[in-house]
């Protein structure tokens, strides 16, 4: 049972090594990591007890920013695309955030959904600019100034995504343990006391909202260059629901859960679609039902339960928050 | 007593047909402990709510030091130096006692470095000292939702004191606890207030507590102040005993 404590490290190594053994899988894993970043954004807001049903808008906005950049500056670098995507989603997040952080719970969720549907409609209807439902092609950018072939680029993109996911996990983990992160959690438990400490709950939520938008934007940029095409579907409400779904699957409110959930989701989806093309959504539904009924704290909760059974200090440590 | 710290002038506020403040004039002096007594519905908590920005009066003003704080937001008033403890403790129930205080310290210092864990704030030792002062040192790592009501009340007050306020407003700090517990809480509270040099106003129903711990007492009745003065003088007034205490 002691081996249980090494499971996360082993899984990271397995994910890092998988593309070497099964090269075609790196596309699926990159998609999972990109979605994991967006889910991490959702997880940040879950700390404040707020669920966003519209975070796909940031995913789509930065994906389209990558498409526009590649259209305007052919041969732009991946680093530039990623940075531009984060700036774009962060800016949109700050503007929309100023409005939505005034609301809580169902109103917060629905307002995010409403904004995302406005963006979706714009992407659909502004055919001459966005390509409508056909979307836009995204050429292959250079990688740190190097022009790589398709396979090499996909490999580089996968490992870059893995590194960015690790860095994002570390940053969000630190953020949530900082006074800002603790104040964010306090919005969920007692907003009145927060105000009587002299802290603006709206301001704290706005900072978290912009951070979550930037994370979703980073995922959007990665998915754009990974797929080579962007369509309005990236910003559709079903995509936003998918992020919430993955957050619950991974373990609501947990940093590592975002990526664990995204990996399981993408792999289940991939294999279910390959082996049972007509009923893969039903299989996913059963997986979520199983998680809610038998492991309501998600994959990370399952892991913790196993780790708690393990003798030794790990089982008694404070939870990673 | 030296100098006026808080001054409420001609405060008015009504809720439908109920008048909760009908021309309230009250001064709170530096360094004193002022008790507010009166029957339920007299407007005692409403007064605290106006002073801390939760309610805006329909007329009148509140001055804190040299500044008019009428209708300012609670967080702005808190930052100016008025802290509040509630009748029902307002705490972060899924956090530990020390975390509640550290968050208050972070708010006071405006320490928002996203890379520094709350646990590593330089004010940690100061907060542990404050917990010791409040008789809560043993409970620093306890979760709030595991504490009995009396200790929650003390933690609520400790959180307010962590802000290092000039003035602390407390709404029934000893309600809902046993008589023995009441005096324990008040003894600890009075010592903490003295050490930190904090002026205080507290709403109280127990006349023993008022007699023992207040420097002055203000008697509320139907949104008005019936009398203000030293406890032995005010509580000796038969009309106060009859109208307010019901004896």
Inter-chain touch A196–B83, beta carbons under 8 Å: yes
**Minimum CA–CA partner of B96 in chain A:** A182
pLDDT of residue A313: 47
- What total number of domains does chain A contain? 1
* Domain ranges, residue B36: 1-76+205-247
- CB distance from A179 to chain B under 8 Å? yes
Q: What is the 3-state composition of chain A as percent helix, strand, coil, each rounded to the nearest 5?
A: 80, 0, 20
Q: Which CATH number does the domain housing residue A19 bear?
A: 1.10.3470
pLDDT at B10 over 60: yes
Give the distance from residue A84's alpha carbon to the nearest chain B alpha carbon, in angstroms: 23
Put simply, whether A152 touches B (Cβ < 8 Å) is no
Does residue B5 lie within any of the structural domains?
Answer: yes
What share of chain B has pLDDT > 70, as a percent?
98
CA distance A44 to chain B (A): 13
Contact A30, A218 (CB under 8 A): no
Q: What is the pLDDT of residues B217-242, one digit of tens each?
A: 998 888 888 888 888 888 788 887 77
pLDDT of the residue at A83: 93
Give a yes or no: residue B115 inside a domain.
no
Mutate to test the interface with B, among A197, A199, A206, A319 (most CBs of B within 10 A): A197
B244 falls within a domain: yes
- B146, part of any domain: no
> pLDDT class for B187, splitting at 50, 70, 90?
confident
Pick out chain A residues at pLDDT < 50. Answer: 313-321
Please report the residues numbered 111 through 150 in chain B whose beta carbons come closer than 8 angstroms to any beta carbon of chain A: 111-119, 121
Write out the two tokens for A131. Answer: 């390509």
Average pLDDT, chain B: 86
**Residue A182 touches partner B, C-beta closer than 8 Å:** yes
**Segment A193-222, tens digit of pLDDT:** 888 999 999 999 999 999 999 999 999 999
Helix (H) or strand (E) holding B35: strand B33-37
Quick: pLDDT tens for A17-49.
777 777 788 888 999 999 999 999 999 999 998
Contact (CB, 8 A) for B36 and B223 = no
Using the predicted structure, report yes or no on whether residue B121 has a pLDDT greater than 70.
yes
Say how far apart CA B217 and CA B208 lie, in whole Å. Answer: 12
Within-domain flag for A321: no
Query: Residue A317: what pLDDT?
Result: 44
pTM of the model: 0.85
Nearest CA in chain B to A195: B75
Pairing of β A136-137 and β B18-29: unpaired
Mean pLDDT of B85-101: 88
Band (B2; pLDDT cuts 50, 70, 90)? low
Instruction: Give the span between the Cα atoms of A253 and A242, in whole angstroms.
Output: 15
Which CATH number does the domain housing residue B32 bear? 3.40.50.300
Torsional sign, CA A275, A279, A283, A288 = positive
Closest C-alpha among A108, A110, A118, A116 to residue A205: A108
**CA distance linking residue A180 with residue B112, whole number of Å:** 6
B112 interaction partners in chain A (CB closer than 8 Å):
178-180
Instruction: Report the alpha-carbon distance of residue A102 to residue A24 in Å, rounded.
Output: 45
Main-chain phi, psi angles of B9, to 5 degrees? -125, 120
pLDDT at A96: 94
Number of domains in chain B: 1
Nearest Cα residue to B50 out of B30, B80, B20, B27: B20
- Closest by Cβ to B115, choosing from A174, A183, A186: A174
pLDDT attached to residue A311: 56
CB contacts of B74 in chain A (<8 Å) are: 195-196
Query: For B167, left (φ over 0), alpha (ψ -120 to 50), or beta?
Result: beta
**pLDDT at B19 exceeding the cut of 50:** yes
Range of the domain at A182: 2-316
In this complex, the residue of B73, B99, B114 whose CB is nearest that of residue A175 is B114
Distance between A233 CA and the closest CA of chain B, angstroms? 34
Span B45-70, average pLDDT:
89
**Is B67 an interface residue toward A (CB < 8 Å)?**
no
């Amino acid at each position: 049972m002691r081996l249980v404590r090494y499971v996360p490290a082993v899984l990271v190594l397995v994910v890092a090594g998988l593309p070497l053994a099964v090269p075609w899988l790196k596309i699926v894993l990159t998609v999972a990591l990109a979605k994991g970043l967006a889910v991490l954004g959702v997880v940040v807001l879950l700390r404040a007890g707020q669920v966003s049903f519209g975070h796909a808008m940031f995913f789509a906005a930065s994906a389209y920013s990558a498409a526009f950049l590649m259209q305007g500056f052919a041969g732009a670098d991946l680093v530039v695309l990623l940075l531009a995507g984060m700036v774009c989603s962060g800016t949109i997040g700050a503007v929309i955030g100023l409005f939505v952080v005034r609301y809580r719970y169902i109103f917060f969720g629905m307002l995010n959904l409403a904004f995302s549907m406005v963006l979706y409609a714009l992407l659909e209807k502004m055919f001459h600019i966005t390509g409508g439902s056909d979307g836009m092609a995204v050429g292959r950018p250079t990688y740190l100034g190097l022009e790589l072939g398709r396979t090499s680029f996909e490999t580089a993109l996968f490992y870059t995504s893995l590194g960015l996911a690790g860095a994002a996990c570390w940053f969000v983990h630190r953020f949530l343990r900082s006074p800002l992160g603790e104040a964010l959690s306090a919005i969920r438990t007692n907003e009145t006391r927060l105000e009587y400490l002299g802290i603006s709950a709206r301001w704290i939520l706005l900072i978290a909202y912009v951070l979550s938008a930037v994370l979703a934007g980073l995922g959007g940029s990665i998915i754009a260059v990974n797929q080579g095409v962007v369509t309005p579907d990236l910003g559709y409400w079903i995509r936003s629901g998918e992020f919430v779904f993955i957050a619950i699957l991974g373990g609501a409110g947990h940093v590592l859960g975002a990526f664990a959930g995204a990996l399981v989701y993408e792999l289940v989806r991939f294999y279910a679609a390959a082996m049972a093309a007509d009923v893969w959504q039903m299989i996913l539904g059963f997986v979520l039902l199983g998680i809610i009924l038998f492991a309501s704290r998600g994959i990370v909760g399952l892991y913790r339960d196993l780790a708690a059974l393990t003798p030794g200090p790990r089982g008694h440590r404070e939870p990673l928050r | 007593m030296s100098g006026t710290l808080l001054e409420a002038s001609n405060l008015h506020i009504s809720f439908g047909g109920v008048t909760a403040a009908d021309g309230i004039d009250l001064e709170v002096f530096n360094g004193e402990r002022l008790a507010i007594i009166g029957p339920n519905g007299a407007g005692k908590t409403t007064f605290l709510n106006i002073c801390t920005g939760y309610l805006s009066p329909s007329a009148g003003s509140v001055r804190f030091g040299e500044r008019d704080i009428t209708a300012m937001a609670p967080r702005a008033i808190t930052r100016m130096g008025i802290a509040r403890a509630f009748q029902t403790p307002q705490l972060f129930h899924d956090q530990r006692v020390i975390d509640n205080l550290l968050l208050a310290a972070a708010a006071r210092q405006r320490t928002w470095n996203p890379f520094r864990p709350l646990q590593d704030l330089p004010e940690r030792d100061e907060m542990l000292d404050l917990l010791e002062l409040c008789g809560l040192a043993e409970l620093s790592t306890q979760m709030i939702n595991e504490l009995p009501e009396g200790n929650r009340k003390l933690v609520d007050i400790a959180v307010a004191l962590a802000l290092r306020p000039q003035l602390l407003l407390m709404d029934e700090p000893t309600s809902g606890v046993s008589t023995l517990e009441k005096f324990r809480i008040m003894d600890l509270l009075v010592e903490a207030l003295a050490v930190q040099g904090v002026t205080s106003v507290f709403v109280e129903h127990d006349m023993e507590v008022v007699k023992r711990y207040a420097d002055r007492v203000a008697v509320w009745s139907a949104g008005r102040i019936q009398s203000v003065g030293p406890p032995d003088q005010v509580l000796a007034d038969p009309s106060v005993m009859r109208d307010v205490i019901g004896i």
